[in-house]
């Protein structure tokens, strides 16, 4: 059993006008195998939550806690968090010129598991994961995220998810910029990772369409840096019909 607890989380971000408060007391508990959808209008703090969990230096936690199986995540560096079992699928993954996907994947796997994977087994595992995500094998020769289409970037993020086998994955708007076919492929990849590793998922999205492919157990509506409402999958259906207007106006 694994558990990720977010307690009374307050986060501010540094801006040109000084620090700006984004999260104002977020409480969430995710167990392995569970899928939680975080939905909300633009600017409600969804991505800030994602980056705060991963430890991006731009975001400062001013109050509250993040615990992974009781361990204080906020005291860990970015890479320590990843090695502890947290994964962030990024909305805008950055290019790393001159570093091939295959070099990057092998380096990450080695870092996470503490030893280099056996070459033959690793190559096979990468190939199988890529096949399942309908990625061409030549993809590994390309430089990380360089010249990738929106769909290729998202597939590459989910490829890492399936290979690095974290305990919890935060998917930051993984559905944005994907056509229906790509959305389906990527969602299947997430579902496979859930099944294979009993992964806990925090699915951050603006739209409900990805929830047709990745079934949430819980839905949390984010407004102005707080959870405004939570419920089961039926809440997503209601948002689909009504939008976020009633929260924003309230």
Q: Apex CA 206: angle with CA 203 and CA 82, to 5°?
A: 30
Written as one string, the DSSP assignment of 123-151 is HHHHHHHHHHTT--GGGGGSEETTT--HH
Binder among 20, 72, 78, 195 for another protein (CB under 8 A): 78
Task: Give how far the C-alpha of residue 238 lies from the chain's centroid of Cα atoms, to the nearest Å.
Answer: 24
Contacts with another protein, 138-177, as mask; x by CB under 8 A? -----xx---------------x---x-------------
Name which of 43, 39, 31 is nearest 234 in CA terms: 39
Give least dist CB 194 to another protein, A: 20
Give least dist CB 239 to another protein, A: 29
Q: Does residue 56 touch another protein according to CB under 8 A?
A: yes
Q: Does residue 88 touch another protein according to CB under 8 A?
A: yes
Q: Angle formed by the axes of helices 150-164 and 101-113, to 10°?
A: 30
Give least dist CB 153 to another protein, A: 11
Chain residues in the site for another protein (CB under 8 A): 54-57, 77-79, 81-83, 87-88, 90, 93-99, 103-104, 107-108, 111-112, 143-144, 160, 164
């Amino acid at each position: 059993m694994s558990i990720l607890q977010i307690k009374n989380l307050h986060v501010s971000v540094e801006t040109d006008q000084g620090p700006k408060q984004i999260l104002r007391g977020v409480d969430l508990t995710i167990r392995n195998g569970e899928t939680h959808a975080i939905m909300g209008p633009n600017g409600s703090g969804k991505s800030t939550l994602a980056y705060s969990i991963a430890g991006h230096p731009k975001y400062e936690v001013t109050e509250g806690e993040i615990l992974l199986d009781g361990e204080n995540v906020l005291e860990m560096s970015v890479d320590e968090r990843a090695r502890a079992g947290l994964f962030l699928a990024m909305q805008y993954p950055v290019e790393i010129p001159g570093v091939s996907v295959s070099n990057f994947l092998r380096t990450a796997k080695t870092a996470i598991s503490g030893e280099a994977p056996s070459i033959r087994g690793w190559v096979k595992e990468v190939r199988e994961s890529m096949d399942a995500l309908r990625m061409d094998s030549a993809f590994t020769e390309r430089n990380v995220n360089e010249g990738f289409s929106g769909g290729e970037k998202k597939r590459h993020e989910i490829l890492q998810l399936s290979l690095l086998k974290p305990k919890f994955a935060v998917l930051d708007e993984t559905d944005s910029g994907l056509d229906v076919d790509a959305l389906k492929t990527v969602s299947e990849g997430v579902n496979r990772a859930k099944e294979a590793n009993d992964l806990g998922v925090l699915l951050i999205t603006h739209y409900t369409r990805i929830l047709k492919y990745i079934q949430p157990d819980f839905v949390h509506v984010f407004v102005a840096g707080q959870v405004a409402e939570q419920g089961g999958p039926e809440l997503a259906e209601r948002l689909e019909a009504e939008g976020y207007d009633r929260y924003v106006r309230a």
